[in-house]
Amino acid sequence: MRAVIFGGDGFIGRHLAASSTVLTDVVLVDNKGPTPPDVVFADVREPVPVGVAGARVPDWIVALAAVHREPGHAAEEYFETNIVGARNIVAYAEAVGCDRVFFISSMSVYGTTTLPADEHTVPCPVSPYGASKLAAELIFEAWYKAGERRRLIVCRPGVVYGPGDPGNVLRMIRAIRQGVFLFPGDRHVRKSYAYIDGLVESFDYTLARTEPYILYNHMEPETEPLENVVRIVQDEFVCRRRVPSLPRPLLVAAAHASQALTRGRSPLHPVRVRKAARTTHVVPRWLIEHDFQFRFDFRTALRHWRKVAPEDFVTNGAVRQ
């Protein structure tokens, strides 16, 4: 099956290209510079050239291109890329005659979710990123409804992590191992995580189905309280340092001070603190009801990650057990 992946040179795109058992011919499209030799340059903020993936019409378009890091971008940047990009991708789909799109959205469309949220929960984003992703979903849905034979799959993943990604989960693991992690207020706040290998498996699973429209969440089915996540990391790395709690306002103030003292280089950032303190209790209801076989929870994912990419956990030149 042939696919063109917009945003293909990113963490998820690379894993899809390398690990999907459904995709056999992949064209990676991205706007990073310098452009790697296996990537075609295109910026989805501009009209996508019809010939970006060659003369052959792709079986699937995978829409991954997005501004998503928080912090690091002005609010308008999320909308400029995520909404304009969705418009240009659907215009490309119509121009080349591709009638199947897979869109990677985000659980951020739900906002803060104290009670478990699933695919039937009304979205209520609280960040520019979440709002722009929800708007992009509506653009893809309008495209889907405008054609009789079109297929659309929308995936709302949790915090995606795994081999090769230096994001929030790895930063948290390093902070726990170094004894500098603090609970941002409530240690029972729940966090929904999505291991990259499990995400690829749900991608293959939904592509192989026949429903014309699928909207699904992907995250580990057991959303762990943050206290349990910390305990799992301590168990796996045999580090027993006590992890204290600090009220969120004090931790946010400390983050502001840390940013000022290091001129913005500190990993302790007010936005990350607020995100860490925000409950994201989301349930992959569609996958559960359709008998998807989850192979990973947070512990098994961490063990798999250490096995396939031990270099991600190297500290001072050695892999610490």
Q: If you average pLDDT over every residue of the chain, what do you get? A: 90
Reported as a single tens digit per residue, the pLDDT across 127-147 is 899 999 999 999 999 999 999
Q: What does the block give as tokens for 291?
A: 């008998």
More confident site: 264 or 191:
191
Q: What is the predicted pLDDT for the residue at 262? A: 83
Kindly tell me if the per-residue pLDDT of 199 is higher than 90. yes
In angstroms, the CA 313 to CA 321 distance is 9
pLDDT of residue 10: 93
Note the pLDDT of residue 320: 45
At residue 115, the pLDDT reads: 85
Check whether 319 has a pLDDT greater than 50: no
Residue 260's contacts (CB-CB under 8 Å, 6 or more residues apart) are none
The reported pLDDT for the residue numbered 48 is 97
Q: Residue 72: its pLDDT value, please?
A: 65
In tens, the pLDDT along 20-73 reads: 999 999 999 999 888 999 999 999 999 999 999 998 999 999 999 888 666 666
DSSP code for 221 = S
Number of Cβ within a 10 Å radius of residue 299: 17
Of 22-36, 107-121, 218-232, 307-321, the one with minimum mean pLDDT is 307-321
Strands (E), the chain: 2-6, 25-30, 39-41, 60-63, 100-104, 113-117, 151-157, 159-161, 183-184, 190-191, 193-195, 213-218, 224-225, 245-246, 280-282, 314-315, 318-319
Alpha-carbon torsion (140, 4, 80, 167), positive or negative: positive
pTM of the model: 0.91
Check: CB of residue 153 under 8 Å from CB of residue 101: yes
CB distance 25 to 2 below 8 Å: yes
Domains of the chain: 2-158+194-220+282-292 (3.40.50.720)
In which band, very low, low, confident or very high, does the pLDDT at 317 lie, cut at 50, 70 and 90? Answer: very low
Angle subtended at Cα 302 by Cα 299 and Cα 304, rounded to the nearest 5 degrees: 110
